[in-house]
């Protein structure tokens, strides 16, 4: 039965090897494998775009598929979680970026790197109020333009529509 999948089993690079390559680009990255099945990188907002660009363009990493872009509210911090996969090497990596500035959170957009990010970032902007610099069309996606607040933040209150158990 193993041979059934042989076209689909590529030699996946070890997380350590991946970590070695990536850490050589930007010094102040934090790597962790704790509490997750994937290698997770935490990056500072100012380094985000550079890191993402290299993750995509570097031949050895070649993360060309952004399959999930999640807005997060960790209580104190707001941030975005990027799940990346390489369609050639088939390795997966998670990139996290955080900011403590809850009033005016801003990150660089990655929609020039992966086009799918355009809609996903609009969704995050809609629900978390995180702004993405250089985004071509950053406006509300699901909610109306005049919606007050950002519903998926943990401190959002709506006494009429939200049922809290």
Q: Which residues are near another protein by CB under 8 A? A: 1, 4-5, 7-8, 34-38, 40, 64-68, 70, 72-73, 81, 83, 87, 90, 94, 114-116, 118-120, 123, 141-144, 151-152, 162-165
How large is the greatest C-alpha to C-alpha distance in the chain, in angstroms?
Answer: 57
| Minimum distance from residue 129 beta carbon to another protein (Å) | 15
| Minimum distance from residue 48 beta carbon to another protein (Å) | 18
CB nearer another protein, residue 4 or residue 160:
4
| Minimum distance from residue 38 beta carbon to another protein (Å) | 7
CB nearer another protein, residue 14 or residue 115:
115
CB nearer another protein, residue 104 or residue 154:
154
| Minimum distance from residue 26 beta carbon to another protein (Å) | 23
CB nearer another protein, residue 24 or residue 139:
139
CB nearer another protein, residue 73 or residue 108:
73
The pairing of beta strand 65-73 with beta strand 78-85: antiparallel
Element (H, E) at 45: helix 45-57
- The 3-class SS string of 115-154 reads CCHHHHHHHHHHHHCCEEECCCCCCCCCCCCCCCCCCCCC
| C-alpha to C-alpha distance for 153 and 127, rounded to whole angstroms | 7
Burial class (CB in 10 A: 0-12, 13-18, 19+), 83: middle
Kindly report the backbone phi and psi dihedral angles of residue 162, in degrees, each rounded to the nearest multiple of 5, phi listed first.
-95, 130
| Minimum distance from residue 27 beta carbon to another protein (Å) | 25
């Amino acid at each position: 039965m193993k041979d059934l999948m042989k076209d689909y089993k590529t030699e996946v690079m070890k997380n350590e090897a991946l970590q070695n390559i990536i850490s050589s680009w930007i010094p102040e990255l934090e790597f962790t494998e704790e509490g997750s099945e994937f290698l997770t990188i935490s990056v500072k907002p100012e380094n985000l775009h550079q890191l993402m660009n290299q993750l995509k363009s570097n031949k050895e990493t070649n993360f060309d598929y952004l399959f999930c872009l999640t807005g997060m509210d960790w209580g104190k911090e707001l941030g975005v979680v990027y799940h990346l996969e390489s369609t050639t090497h088939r390795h997966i990596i998670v990139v996290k970026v955080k900011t403590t500035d809850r009033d005016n959170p801003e990150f660089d957009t990655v929609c020039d790197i992966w086009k799918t990010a355009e809609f996903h970032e609009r969704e995050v902007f809609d629900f978390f109020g995180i702004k993405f610099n250089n985004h071509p069309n950053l406006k509300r996606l699901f909610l109306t333009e005049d919606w007050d607040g950002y519903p998926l933040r943990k401190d959002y209150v709506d006494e009429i529509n939200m049922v809290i158990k």
